[in-house]
Structure 1
Amino acid sequence: MVLRRPDRRSRPAPIYLHIGGPSTGTTYLQRLMYANRDGLGRTGYLLPAPWRDVVLATHDALSFGRPTGHKNDLTRAAGGRWDRLAEELTAHGGKGTVVSMEFLCWARPAAAERIISSLGDAEVHVVLTVRDTAAVLRSQWQTNCRNGEEVPLRRMLWGLRQIVKEDGEPASRPERMIHRGMGIPTMIDTWVPLVGADRVHVVTVPLRSDDPDLLWKRFAGVVGIKPSRCRERAVQSNASLGLPSSELMRLLNIELGPVRRTDYLRTMKVLLARDILSERADQERKVTLNRPGRNLAARWNDRIRGAISTSGVDLVGSLDDLPVTRAGKDVPAELETPTDEELLFAAAWARKGLVEAIGDLEDRIAKLREDQAYVGSAPAVGPGAEDSDQQDDDDAADDGPDDGPDDDRADDDPDDVGLDPRARLDRQLRDRTPEVGLALTEIAGLVRQAMPLGAELAELRAAGTSPAPSRDH
């Protein structure tokens, strides 16, 4: 009897889930791969598209195992997206499939198990990029500020302190923020039992290197891609803010209060943070940690090193990329905060940029109305317009899922408990010149002026891509 080899063509290609974490070069890797998506496809690698569908599918997957009441509007709208993505992944029979979405690192055990089971008999690998905690914390805080958060940097450091010294479920919002983005030991514990230690690959972000592509070479080696095949480079990079602009955004989040998420992303995150304030990043002081913060980061790096070493996962890179040396006395003991002058300079830049942007929005709306023979007031913005505009937002992926109904912002700072937003802002501005508060109020007014204009422009764009209604009715 002749033994027949199993038909490999009937099995899915190996699936590589790049689960993050955030601020570990994920955007760089994603944009590099998608800029070369066609070329990778010709060599047998699938990168699912469009990107927005991958984001929505991830929101759907993260809701697995959660009660219905804990699902937000975005999660409910994304229902069923992961299963459709899983069908696409398991239908591919080439060399490999890469899904790179940093929100996946937040998957709880029930969600992670459901994700793996949805991929059938595919050979699944989990890739986790890991970076020095101090660098991640700095990056995550300024990212949080342009995502609507109100947590001060000092409270983020307090959250890290609590995580370092305590075990168990994070209790406060700062602790949850640290744990979600930097809880590498928990991430390893979640995924190793599902795919095996040999298929969990921890790729360290180089602490320093003369080779700007070293992270890509490490990642590509795991996935099996020849690094040289990705020749096209994505020009755009994530918006980065300096210390004054980050603090300005944080204070504006309190001044504005609750706003519709789509309006926030379009006007605050994209227009103000990415298009206006990021232009002056090289003129501002960078976000830095003080000596206690650096030492906390070193202690957490040591915890991460231990989790990597004892778990038996595949380490690509070096544990030296996660420094554990205590900071010297050359690092200031006090945490740097922006001066009033720095905040006012950032506010003046924001004011100028918003005024120009509002004029530009009005001109573009008028032109679109004329082009479309638009008569009367604009219709209310509907889901179609929101989807269209969201696809134009390159940074949409930074907007992570909410914590859900248990998201209690009062624990951001004990001094804020029981205070309404106005009183909270007044407390945080009490040691600053009154001009800072006046500037915040003025900028918030401009943001509120720009929000409906941005929504109307999105509506008109959506109408322009739809069949024109009959003029006979």
Structure 2
Amino acid sequence: MALRWLDRDRRDRPAPIYLHIGGPSTGTTYLQRLMAANADVLSRDGYLLPGESWRDVVLATHDALNTAKKTDLAAAAGGRWDRLAEEMLAHRGKATVLSMEFLCWAKPEAAERIIASLGDAEVHVILTVRDTAAVLRSQWQTNCRNGAEVPLRRLIWGLRQVVEKDGQPSSRPERMIDRAMGVPRMVDTWVPLVGAERFHVVTVPLSSPDPDLLWKRFAGVIGINAGRCRERSVESNPSLGLPSSELMRLLNIELGPVNRTDYLRTMKSLLARDILGERASQERKVTLNRPGQNLSARWNGRLRTAITTSGVDLVGDLDDLPVGRAGKDVPAELEAPTDEELLFAAAWARKGLEEAIASLEEKVAQLREEQGYDAASAEGRGDHSPDTSHDTDDTDDQGSDEDHGSDDDPEDAGLDRNALLERQLKDRTPEIRLALTEIIGLVRRAMPLGAELAAARTSASRSAR
């Protein structure tokens, strides 16, 4: 039976390809999960969501951007983009939609390779854009649960540097801002490749009585009937509160360098998402001070200018990017969690890890009995294949070591991790340092157990094929 939605002259050409490149913390996870939950409906309507899994999309994007070469992602990512591109070029339906926020990191040469790999397909780029203050708050807590050690005050400093000077970002805070909020750079990178008429900026509603307004705007660009997609993902994606975010940041310093997959599995997925995520509604939210709000408003002004002067397709409202200055009711000083709040979060983390370790030990013991090996031979069985589970709004698994390590704070120059932590905790109760040490001790117990269990699951899955 002929596909009714196709004109005859398009049956031998790829369907239009829509690359949703981010940015991070702009509702990307909401859109991705909504589309995944309605994949069957979208498929019947002629829309392709490429890749067999989210892991395929993550690894293919790392491959396209060449950001996996210095990490344990390298072997798994090689050749993934070419396979994904072949799948997209083979589709003859209404459209292909690839949503992956890492694409907004692309430098011009990487973007050129991506577009070239899509042959004669009609390629569109969608960029979702959100109020800078909201992105800044979200990015800081997200990066804290992805291994970052940068204090919120330094991220605000990084925004000031980006707002007030031209040129390439030189410090880690500046690079973090540019990667997540460098909309002018993203426009300059992609518009010359696809044309302004095929570059669509979708603003995230600043406020709306319609919780699906972002989806409706996004779907409208592609031609999807938004009302047909009625399923909603049951997964939650809570942002960590201020105390838990700061706790994760301090734990990252205490932990030091570890295998990236071990970090993602134990620190990010287990501790940050499963354990600390449960108390997100009980904690104070991350907020900006008056300078942070005003810098955000100034950057919003730059975003507005980049959008309007480039001639790209605007879907939404520039009022979603407010430019008004903060009032005197916004505190001039940046709020920090109290010692009591940090200790409450630490106690919750410790209890959750102890319970998780007991469960892991029970599962691993059963596994060893079933598969007939002992604890002594378990060493080396750990699974270090990349964990690319989709559990954040903007999974910041950057696959590059250029953004890990010192945050370029002059006060930290020359300090080892122990001295750095001592400096940052000098005005806090000694119990906090003790709590950090105890938690990291539990993390190091959990990591090999999680790796062994993951290895067994991977082996079982391969055997079942």
Q: TM-score range by the shorter chain?
A: over 0.9
CA distance in 1, matches of 2:109, 2:75: 18
Shift of 1:7: 2.9
Query: Cα distance, 1:377 vs. partner?
Result: 3.4
Task: Compute the displacement of 1:75 (Å).
Answer: 3.8
Superposed counterparts of 1:34-433, under 5 Å: 34-49=36-51, 50-63=53-66, 71-75=70-74, 77-375=76-374, 377-381=376-380, 385-387=383-385, 390=387, 394-395=391-392, 398-404=395-401, 406-407=402-403, 409-433=405-429
SS of 2:352's equivalent in the other structure is helix
CA shift, 1:463, in A, is: 3.2
Aligned equivalents of 2:369 and 2:436: distance in 1? 35
1:147–1:408: structure 2 CA closer, same or farther, 3 Å change rule?
A: closer
Do the aligned partners of 1:203 and 1:315 also contact (CA within 8 Å) in 2?
A: yes
SS at match of 1:13: coil
Paired letter, 2:24? P
Distance change (3 Å), C-alpha of 1:270 and 1:216: same
Higher RCO, 1 or 2 (CA under 8 Å, sep at least 6)? 2
Query: Per the alignment, in what secondary structure is the counterpart of residue 454 of structure 1?
Result: helix
Quote how far apart the aligned CAs of 1:380 are. Answer: 4.3
For structure 2, the residue ranges without an aligned partner over 5 or more in a row are: 1-6
CA contact (8 A) 1:266 1:393 kept: no
Which residue is equivalent to 2:3?
A: none
Letter in 2 for 1:275: D
| 1:7 and 2:6 correspond | no
TM-score, structure 1 normalization:
0.93
Change (3 A) 1:299 1:97: same
Contact 1:28 1:237 in 2 (8 A): no
1:265–1:396 contact (8 Å) kept in structure 2: no
User: Which residue pairs with 2:4 in the alignment?
Assistant: none
1:394 CA displacement:
3.9
Deviation string 1:59-83 (CA, Å, 9 cap, x unpaired) is 011128xxx9x75442454122111
Please state how far the C-alpha of 1:321 moved relative to its aligned partner. 0.2
User: Per the alignment, in what secondary structure is the counterpart of residue 409 of structure 1?
Assistant: coil
Classify the secondary structure of the residue corresponding to 1:323. Answer: coil
* 1:461 has 2:457 as partner: yes
Aligned to 1:471: none
Displacement of 1:379 in angstroms is 3.8
Letter in 1 for 2:58: V
Q: What is the CA–CA distance in structure 2 between the aligned matches of 1:391 and 1:334, rounded to whole Å?
A: 37
**Which amino acid in structure 1 is aligned with residue 65 of structure 2?**
L
1:60-111, CA deviations, whole angstroms, 9 ceiling, x for partnerless residues? 11128xxx9x754424541221111111111101000000000000000000
- Residue of structure 2 equivalent to 1:435: 431
Q: Could you say if the C-alpha distance between residues 379 and 399 of structure 1 is closer, same or farther in structure 2, counting changes exceeding 3 Å?
A: farther
Tell me if structure 1 keeps the 8 A contact 2:201–2:312. Answer: yes
2-structure distance, mates of 1:374, 1:355: 25
Q: Secondary structure at the match of 1:116?
A: helix
* Percent identity (aligned): 74
Q: Per the alignment, in what secondary structure is the counterpart of residue 304 of structure 1?
A: helix
Per-residue Cα deviation, 1:293-346 (whole angstroms, up to 9, x for no partner): 000000000000000000000000000000000000000000000010100000
Shift of 1:458: 1.2
| Greater CA drift, 123-132 or 362-371 | 362-371
Distance 1:35 1:368 in 2: 32
Supply the distance in 2 between the matched residues of 1:393 and 1:361 (Cα, whole angstroms).
Answer: 22
In the alignment, is the contact (CA less than 8 A) between 2:145 and 2:267 conserved in 1? yes
Partner of 1:18: 20
Distance in 1 of aligned mates of 2:284 and 2:375:
48
Query: What is the distance in 2 between the residues matched to 1:213 and 1:157?
Result: 30
Give the whole-Å Cα distance in 2 for the aligned partners of 1:122 and 1:398. 28
Matched residue count: 457
Distance 2:17 2:380 in 1: 38
For residue 48 of structure 1, report the CA deviation from its aligned partner: 1.1
Mapped to 2, the partners of 1:52 and 1:58 lie a distance apart of 10
Residue type matched to 1:416 in 2?
D
Instruction: Look up the SS of the partner of 1:377 in the other structure.
Output: helix
Report the alpha carbon displacement of residue 395 of structure 1 after superposing the two structures with TM: 4.5
Question: Structure 2 counterpart of 1:458, which letter?
Answer: A
3-state SS of the aligned residue for 1:206?
coil
Check conservation: 2:163, 2:295, Cα contact below 8 A: yes
SS in 1 for 2:202: strand
Q: Which moved more, 1:390-399 or 1:258-267?
A: 390-399
Which one is further off, 445-454 or 317-326?
A: 445-454
Structure 1 residues 309, 162: closer, same or farther in 2, change over 3 A? same
Q: Is the 8 Å Cα contact of residues 24 and 393 (structure 2) preserved in structure 1?
A: no
- 8 Å contact from structure 2 (residues 412, 420) kept in 1: yes
